[in-house]
Copies of this chain bind each other. A is one copy, B any other.
Amino acid sequence: MPTGYDIRLIAPSGYPHAPEAMQRGIARLEAAGHRVDGKEVLDRRVLRFAGTDEQRAADINGLADPARPLPGIALAVRGGYGAHPLLPLLDYERLGTRLRDGTVALVGHSDFTAVQCALFAKAGIVTYGGPMLGADFGAQELDSLTWDHFWRTMASEDGEAAWATDTAADLALDGPLWGGNLAMLASLVGSPYFPRIEGGLLFVEDVAESPYRVERMLYHLLHAGVLGAQHALLVGDFTGYRTAAYDNGYDLDTALDRIAAAAGIPVIRGLPFGHGPAKFTLPFGVPARLVVAGGKATLRFSGHPRPKTP
């Protein structure tokens, strides 16, 4: 396990709703031998946001400030809502220049996906879908897959993520790995913050979205020419939603079957990524290879940012 990373907290979205989880996350990271700064972002609270739009944008723009040393890891404290108003406020040009050498890992998921899309689309910056301070590092019980995979990915030149899948087909597909929260992806389609990636391996997850809404969002990506242009769709965790008697047998599997048929691309299920406790740390925008065989899916990727251990 690598140690000694400089971790800077950033809060582009909602304010902490569980401050004790944030403190637990900090304690765990420090106990593992890392330095954590930017703790003051945890105290900001404006309406439902972790500070004003300008303050939250400054967390990210601060990475382009030559007067400040770069951290190894910029870690989102939580999701919620708040990334969208920031997107026009980010200094893409200077961020792109300063982060080009791939030694800063920006990490988060959920609402953070919007930031990831924008940084990649506007500046080619590769970030990570992965754990956040509160819900993951600060979870009452730390998930070992989440913890181990995060540090392994930070430290390894060759990334790998493998999981059991019910997909019977044998596949070997190459393409840029990208994705994240489905609602965030869908909410940027048609804007300059949405990356144009073809032939990719697109992963998606969401929370508290009914299957029909998941289908609608995937149809959005399909109708916009995004989904059908990918080599595969990787289905992460979809959690916390309700179905109703009205659904009449329609469920998430139905929705995914319908989308697979409409898009005509392989849909691989079971990826540990999303709002569940176990999640891989997955780079956004690097070359990857997906191999599916014998009920097992394996992603291999390279070229992901790797922070220097000081």
Contact = CB atoms under 8 A, between A and B. Distances in A.
A47 B249 contact: yes
A241 to B, nearest CB: 13
Interface in A216-230: 216-217, 219-220, 223-225
Interface in A57-91: 80-81, 84-85, 87-88
Contact of A220 (B187, B247, B254): B187
Contact of A85 (B15, B187, B262): B262
Contacts of A258: 85
Contacts of A219: 84-85, 187
Interface stretch (A34-42, A94-102, A189-197): A189-197
B247 A47 contact: yes
Given A48-B247, A246-B48, A84 B216 contact: yes
Interface residues of A, number: 40
Interface string A145-184: 0000000000000000000000000000000000000000
Most buried by B among A87, A192, A224, A258: A224
A84 B223 contact: yes
Contacts of A248: 15, 45, 47-48
Interface in A233-258: 246-250, 254, 258
Nearest to A186: B187
Interface in A194-213: 194, 212-213
A215 interface: yes
Interface in A250-270: 250, 254, 258, 262
Nearest to A48: B250
A81 B187 contact: no
Contact of A254 (B47, B213, B224): B47
What 5 A-B pairs come out closest when comparing CB atoms? A190-B190, A191-B223, A47-B250, A189-B190, A84-B219
24 contacts: A14-B246, A47-B247, A47-B249, A48-B212, A48-B248, A48-B250, A81-B212, A81-B213, A81-B215, A81-B216, A84-B220, A85-B258, A85-B262, A87-B223, A88-B223, A186-B187, A188-B220, A189-B191, A189-B224, A190-B191, A190-B194, A190-B220, A191-B220, A191-B223
Interface of A: 14-15, 17, 45, 47-49, 80-81, 84-85, 87-88, 186-194, 212-213, 215-217, 219-220, 223-225, 246-250, 254, 258, 262
